[in-house]
Every structure is written in structure tokens, then in C-alpha cells.
Amino acid sequence: MAQKNPVFRTERRGETTIVFVSGNLDADSVGESWGEATSIQASPVKVDASELESCDGAGLALLHLLTSRKHAELVGLKPEIQRLLAPFQGEKMEGLTPQAKPKRTGPIESLGQVASVFFSDLAEITAFLGKTVLTFLECCRKPSLIRWKDLWVVAERAGVNALLIVGLISFLTGMILAFQAATALRQFGVEIFVVNLVSLAMLREMGVIMTGVVLAGR
């Protein structure tokens, strides 16, 4: 049996506009009838779905659009379709009512908001550091509180297993640093000291920083 296309028919009874919905509301047919259904601006509106045969997700969206406005009533809907539509009833769809313009804040208020967020984050960081120090002191006083088995597992994963990625990143960073340093030192005829520069920079500064970053990430 061929499916019927949804039919929207409006009828005016007093101050109420009755919208008769019939046929099948599915993804293929809703697109053709969406503009016709959303063009109904009268209020109050009564949607009569007693002749609606079937409905999918697209049809539920259309019914919700018709009934989410003020003074709208839906009657005659089959129980199985009503159960699908029930979770969305009472919610308003975007675009039916004009959105309020966001309140513009002045420079002083914006500065206050930024300062509030900054001091809030600072308080959280301070509390975290304080809790870390207290926990460390408590563990030093009672070493039995430390789960040594888990500690060695974490040390292995973050330390030994990270040697490959740490070495690769340090090697690539050293190559970039050597290339950039050679270009600058060549102007003074002292490119022979590139090796010394890279060695000192990687061992004293960059190597430690890159290792710390990778370990923190792991």
C-alpha cells in the first residue's frame, strides 16, 4: 500500500486555528511540508493528529515545532507516537521566540570578571599545592600510606617507557638549535663552537625542560 504524503489543513473556529495533520510524517515528506507548517503564526493553535498514520524522528521534530509555541494544543495523537514525543514536550525550539540580546559589559566589569577568574584559579592552585605538601609530609611520617607497588608501575610507565619519546624530542630539538646557531655564528666565524653551544643548552636547559614536559604529559 502506497504511503500518503502528509497533509496540513487549517480551519478557523472562533479565535482558535485548528491544524489537521494526516498521512505519514517521515524524513522524505517532512521537508516538503516544513515551510507550510512553520508558516502558521496564528494563536491559539490546536493540532489535530487523529488522522496521522505514522511518524519518525523528522515528524516528531515537526510536531514539536507546531506545539512548542504558547497556547498550542495537540490532540488525537496515537499512544505509540505520543510516547515518543513525550520527552520533548514542554521544551521550546530555538528560533520560535526572539533571543534576548546579550548584555554588553563595560570595561570595568570585564576587568572585574577577569580578575575574579584569575584569583579563583590562583586559589585552586594554592589549595592543590598545599594539599600536595601536606600529603607528602604525611607519607614521610607514615611510609605505609604509600602504595609502593603502584608507585613503581607509574615510575616505569612515565620514566623508563618514556625514554624513546624523550630522546627523539631532545634529538630533534638539538638539531633545530644547532641549525639556527650555526647560521648566526657563521657571521662571526665561530661556527666551530656550535657543538659547545648545543651541548650546554641541551644539558643545562632544554633537555631538562623537554623531559619535564613529556613526563608531565605522560
Q: What is the pLDDT of residue 1?
A: 43
DSSP single-letter state for residue 64: H
pTM of the model: 0.36
Let me know: does 94 contact 65? Beta carbons within 8 Å.
no
Closest CA to 77 of 68, 67, 90, 91: 67
Measured between alpha carbons, how far is 37 from 32 in angstroms, rounded to an integer? 10
Measured between alpha carbons, how far is 122 from 135 in angstroms, rounded to an integer? 20
Query: Given the C-alpha cell 643548552, which residue does it identify?
Result: 201
Each residue's pLDDT expressed in tens, for the chain with a length of 218 residues: 444 555 667 777 767 777 777 777 777 777 776 776 767 666 677 777 777 777 777 777 777 777 776 667 777 778 887 777 777 765 554 444 445 566 777 888 889 999 999 999 999 999 999 999 999 999 899 888 888 888 888 888 888 888 888 888 888 888 888 888 888 888 888 888 888 888 888 888 887 888 788 778 77
Q: Are strands 16-25 and 45-55 parallel, antiparallel or unpaired?
A: parallel
Q: What is the pLDDT of residue 204?
A: 83
